[in-house]
Amino acid sequence: MGDGMRGVLVTGASRGIGRAVAEAFAARGDRVAVHYGNGASDAEETLRGLTGDGHVLVRGDLSDPEAATRVVTEAVDGLGAVDVLVNNAALAPTADSRHAIAEVAYEDWVSVWRRTFEVNLFGAANVTWAVARHLLARSAPGAVVNVGSRGAFRGEPEHPAYGASKAALHALGQSLAIALAPHNIAVSTVAPGFVATERQAAKLTGDEGDALRSQSPFGRVGTPAEVAAAVVYLASPEAAWSSGTILDVNGASYLRT
């Protein structure tokens, strides 16, 4: 793609952080493949709101290995090429997926762990493989940015599968940063704290709201646009030397040593 325009595949882009990431890339002139698993109407709304033209929708359940590679093929066909991958799709903690070890039945424990890792880790790994092989076949530089989580470091006692899957995603990114650097492909990760997405609106307006805001010395929670800004930077050619990094985007709510 000429004039600095890149093809960008954003997984899980129907709402929240994924939508903000898609909007940020489109605003800088890139063409975006908006991936979704469910919620076609939300994904279509994301697509309609993107600046510029040439953007496409791609659908697939990333827990299915065949669907994961098909999503990349459709993104390449729709955009002409994929230069940047943002692995944002994930099963996030919800009341229904709570699995505190002292409380949950074994069959539910096994089910949550399996499903979480199928999407959050295996899906991301499979999509990354397909995008990396596409870049290698073109002998083209590129970037992969994973959306991890603060929970990978501080722990998620009520959702341990989520915390573990994000820790594994961080490690995957660092391994692939080393493997792909000789091919001029940078791999990095953002680790957001609590973010004010549509999914979290009830928590922020309810009894938990003040406690969530007080986690950060800024006295608020993060926004999807702030996470998106970090993703866009790490995907830029100027950030290639930061390959392998895990960038905390949590408003100093959790500091690693």
Q: In the chain, what percentage of residues exceed pLDDT 90? A: 91
Tens of pLDDT, residues 130-176: 999 999 999 999 999 999 999 999 999 999 999 999 999 999 999 99
C-beta of residue 55 within 8 angstroms of C-beta of residue 30? no
Whole-number pLDDT of residue 101: 98
Instruction: Write out pLDDT tens, residues 63-84.
Output: 999 999 999 999 999 999 999 9
CA nearest neighbour of 123 among 39, 64, 166: 64
Is 253 a known active-site residue?
no
Nearest alpha carbon to residue 226 among 205, 200, 249, 256: 249
Q: pLDDT-based confidence at 1, cuts 50/70/90?
A: very low
At residue 2 the predicted structure's pLDDT band, cuts being 50, 70 and 90, is very low
Among the residue ranges 2-16, 171-185, 228-242, the one predicted with the least confidence is 2-16
Alpha helix stretches (DSSP H) within the chain: 16-27, 40-48, 65-79, 106-117, 124-138, 151-154, 160-180, 201-205, 209-214, 224-234
- The two tokens of residue 84 are 């940047």
Domain edges within the chain: 7-249
* Radius of gyration (C-alpha) of the chain in whole angstroms: 17
Q: Which member of 149, 165, 243, 253 is catalytic? A: 149
Residues of the chain above pLDDT 70, percent: 98
Position 62 scores a pLDDT of 98
Residue 115 pLDDT more than 80?
Answer: yes
> Residue 250: is its pLDDT beyond 80?
yes
Bridging pattern class, strands 246-249 and 185-192: parallel
Across residues 175-180, what is the average pLDDT? 98
CA distance 8 to 84: 5
Q: pLDDT for 182-219, tens place per residue?
A: 999 999 999 999 998 888 888 888 888 999 999 999 99
pLDDT of residue 198: 83
Does the annotation count 36 as an active-site position? no
Instruction: State pLDDT tens for residues 14-31.
Output: 999 999 999 999 999 999
Place of tokens 């608020």: 220
CA dist 81 and 39 (Å) reads 25
Say how far apart CA 188 and CA 182 lie, in whole Å.
15
Catalytic status, residue 106? no
pLDDT at 100 over 60: yes
For domain 7-249, the question of CATH label 3.30.70.270 is answered with no
Pick the closest to residue 10 from 111, 144, 167 (CA basis): 144
CA-wise closest residue to 168 among 119, 132, 130, 97: 119
Catalytic residue among 14, 162, 188, 243: 162
* Look-up of token digits 């605003």: 27
CA–CA separation, 190 vs 195, rounded Å? 13
Residue tagged active-site, from 14, 165, 166, 243: 166
